[in-house]
Amino acid sequence: AQSVTQPDIHITVSEGASLELRCNYSYGATPYLFWYVQSPGQGLQLLLKYFSGDTLVQGIKGFEAEFKRSQSSFNLRKPSVHWSDAAEYFCAVGVGGGTSYGKLTFGQGTILTVHP
């Protein structure tokens, strides 16, 4: 079965600093990978996705992520964080076939706090 690990439960950065959120996945085949962001009490907003092709993917709000098959990682980065980026970030892996076709498995999430 697939799984996702986000090692950092909580990260605090200063506004304007760079950001990297870590994500490691476990899946036997080529994964579909996603990063979502959630503000308190809200739904999830898609930041970016990787299905195939270029391993560096660009998303909304200035975020990017790099798929590294050798490290089973899909880390999220942003060069300069804004106060409005404070939220919870979820990495997720999707299944492309078999009995779990369509299942999205989420990591535990990383809460981002931004200091002025």
Partner 1 sequence: DTEVTQTPKHLVMGMTNKKSLKCEQHMGHRAMYWYKQKAKKPPELMFVYSYEKLSINESVPSRFSPECPNSSLLNLHLHALQPEDSALYLCASSQTATDTQYFGPGTRLTVL
- For residue 94, state whether it binds partner 1 (rule: CB under 8 A): yes
Please tell me whether residue 60 binds partner 1 under the rule CB under 8 A. no
**Which range of residues in 17-25, 65-73, 76-84, 95-103 is near partner 1 by CB under 8 A?**
95-103
For residues 7 to 46, the per-residue mask of contacts with partner 1, x marking binding by CB under 8 A and - elsewhere, is -------------------------x-x-x----xxxxxx
Closer Cβ to partner 1, 41 or 116, answer by number: 41
Instruction: For the beta carbon of residue 65, count every other beta carbon within 10 angstroms.
Output: 26
- The reply on whether position 109 binds partner 1 by CB under 8 A is yes
Stretch that binds partner 1, among 16-24, 60-68, 69-77, 101-109 (CB under 8 A): 101-109
The answer to whether 80 and 17 have CB atoms below 8 angstroms apart is yes
Residue 78 identity (one-letter amino acid): K
Separation of alpha carbons 104 and 116, rounded Å: 35
DSSP state string for 41-99: TS-EEEEEEE-SS-SEEE-GGG-EEEEEGGGTEEEEEESS--GGG-EEEEEEEE--SGG
Binding site for partner 1 (CB under 8 A): 32, 34, 36, 41-46, 49, 90, 94-96, 99-109
